[in-house]
Amino acid sequence: MGRKILQLPSEFKGRWGLVLTCAVGFGLGLSGLPFYTTGVFVEPLERAFGWSAAQIQGGLTLMLLTNLVSLPAATRLSQRIGPRNLALVSVCAFSAAFMSLAGLGGNLAGYYARWVLVSLAGAGTLGVVWSEVLSRRFVLARGTALGIAMMGSGVTGFFAPVLAQTLIHGVGWRAAFLLLGALPLLVAGPLVWTFFRTGEQDHPAPSTDRTRAPPAIRFDRRFCTIGAAFLLIGCAVAGVIPNFVKLMRSDGLSGGAAAGMASLAGLFVIVGRAACGVLLDRLWAPGVAAAFFAFAGAACLLLAVHGLSSVGLIVGAAAIGLAAGVELDVLPYLTGRYFGVQRMGMTLAVLSGCFYLGSALGPLTVATVADRLGGYAWPLRGAALFLAMGGALLLTLGRYPDPGQSPKAYPA
pLDDT in tens, 334-379: 988 888 777 677 788 888 889 888 888 887 788 888 888 878 889 9
Q: Quick one: pLDDT at residue 16?
A: 84
Domains of the chain by start residue, with CATH: 17-197+219-402 (1.20.1250.20)
Q: Quick one: pLDDT at residue 213?
A: 46
- Of the candidates 312, 237, 287, 295, the one whose C-alpha atom is nearest the C-alpha of residue 393 is 287
Average the pLDDT over 185-200 and give the result. 83
Distance CA(309)–CA(361), nearest Å, equals: 30
pLDDT at 92 over 90: yes
For the whole model, what pTM was predicted? 0.72
Distance CA(49)–CA(44), nearest Å, equals: 9
Q: Quick one: pLDDT at residue 175?
A: 95
Q: What is the mean pLDDT of the chain?
A: 82
- Per residue in 251-292, pLDDT (tens digit) is 777 767 777 777 777 778 788 877 887 888 888 999 999 998
pLDDT at 402 over 90: no
Q: Quick one: pLDDT at residue 394?
A: 96
Confidence class for position 174, pLDDT limits 50, 70, 90: very high
User: CA-based angle 387:282:11, to the nearest 5?
Assistant: 115
- Per residue in 222-249, pLDDT (tens digit) is 999 999 999 999 899 888 877 777 778 7
> What are the b/e assignments for 47-71, b being 16+ CB within 10 Å?
eeeebebbbbbbbbbbbbbbbbebb
Confidence class for position 191, pLDDT limits 50, 70, 90: very high
Q: Quick one: pLDDT at residue 172?
A: 93
Distance CA(122)–CA(11), nearest Å, equals: 29
